Structure 1
Amino acid sequence: MILTIIAAAAENNALGKDNDLVWHLPDDFKRFKTLTSGHFIIMGRKTFESFPKPLPNRTHVIITRQKDYPVPEGCIVVESIEDAIKIAVTSSGVEKPENEEVFIIGGGEIYKQSINIANKIELTRVHTEVEADTFFPEIDGNDWKLIEEEYHPKDEKHQFNFTYLTYIRK
């Protein structure tokens, strides 16, 4: 199984403010949808609550310490990142094949807890610095190797330049 962190972060590693994104990048949303559709997505409760409704064609695993958290239909609630990964790996009662991808989609605390156990990072680096209250952890060049990058200039739909970066664990 491939455990992939997927995020969009500014050059100062800002992810969001007040439980919301600080930019609107339609192409990044499309890429997120393409990569995560049909897969398990693991997230913290606040990230889940930032969505208007569960994302289609994905199995949501929500991490929360709230004992009586109301489980939305089709979603799974667990207490830890370890439990979330276990559920994603063995959901069908059979361990996932090596090439099956499970995505960690946030937020900041969940990224911090998973950066040392993930195999891959799909990062959209937004070329700006913004004020935020949630940040992506530093990517340590001793642990991660950049294997792909694709630059996108700003345009009428995208307020900022951004680059898709794919890292794998060394």
Structure 2
Amino acid sequence: MTSFPRPRLALIAAVAANGTIGLNGILPWHLSADLKHFKNLTSGKRIVMGRRTWQSFPKPLPNREHVVVTSLALTLPDGVLAVRSLAQALALPQPAEQPVFVIGGNAMYLEALPLADDLYLTEIEANVDGDTTFPAWDRAQFREASREPHAAPLRLGGPDVAFSFVHYVRL
């Protein structure tokens, strides 16, 4: 079997100040700017996700190669690949210059974090109720490469909340 160099691995998530990323299997907010940001970063790329994240989508996202990590036998639409592990997903042939994006959920982030080259986080400046969190990570292992602040357009049942698109790169 031919081995390929591991592609650059990026994690992408919207994360509340208290680490929340989900509630009842979905995002606990609707943030149009974040959805556009996600689309811009992941369009034309491979996205890797766990089964529950996959099942939260009504259909495959356009212009992306979907890889679902699962131990279950799933019926998947054409163009969506199931693998048994993150290692299998990362071993798939991939252009070296294109990152692979892990898009959730918590178990996938936890497994991928030690390997991550980049973190693309939408940092929401509020604590949000949820049942799923982004794993704790060592900020000393990353540097902030860019930050794009947005002033208060996100409403979470109270006053508007600010958020930032932040790109971290492993040192």
SS across alignment from 2:13:
strand
Alignment map for 1:6-155 (pairs within 5 Å): 6-66=12-72, 68-87=73-92, 90=93, 96-97=95-96, 99-155=97-153
Q: What letter matches 2:69 in structure 1?
A: I
In the alignment, the residues of structure 2 paired with residue 142 and residue 35 of structure 1 have an alpha-carbon distance, to the nearest angstrom, of: 24
Q: What letter matches 1:101 in structure 2?
A: P
Alignment RMSD? 1.1
- Overall identity of the aligned pairs, in %: 38
SS across alignment from 1:116:
helix
Q: CA deviation at 1:69?
A: 1.3
Query: What's the TM-score, normalizing by structure 1?
Result: 0.90
Q: What letter matches 1:52 in structure 2?
A: P
Q: CA deviation at 1:139?
A: 2.5
In the alignment, the residues of structure 1 paired with residue 131 and residue 91 of structure 2 have an alpha-carbon distance, to the nearest angstrom, of: 29
Query: What's the TM-score, normalizing by structure 2?
Result: 0.90
Instruction: Give deviations 1:66-88, integer Å, cap 9, x for gaps.
Output: 1x21122110001111111112x
Counterpart position of 2:3: none
In the alignment, the residues of structure 2 paired with residue 134 and residue 141 of structure 1 have an alpha-carbon distance, to the nearest angstrom, of: 20
Q: What letter matches 1:108 in structure 2?
A: N
In the alignment, the residues of structure 1 paired with residue 132 and residue 89 of structure 2 have an alpha-carbon distance, to the nearest angstrom, of: 21
In the alignment, the residues of structure 2 paired with residue 31 and residue 154 of structure 1 have an alpha-carbon distance, to the nearest angstrom, of: 17
SS across alignment from 2:152:
coil
Q: What letter matches 1:40 in structure 2?
A: R
In the alignment, the residues of structure 1 paired with residue 8 and residue 98 of structure 2 have an alpha-carbon distance, to the nearest angstrom, of: 6
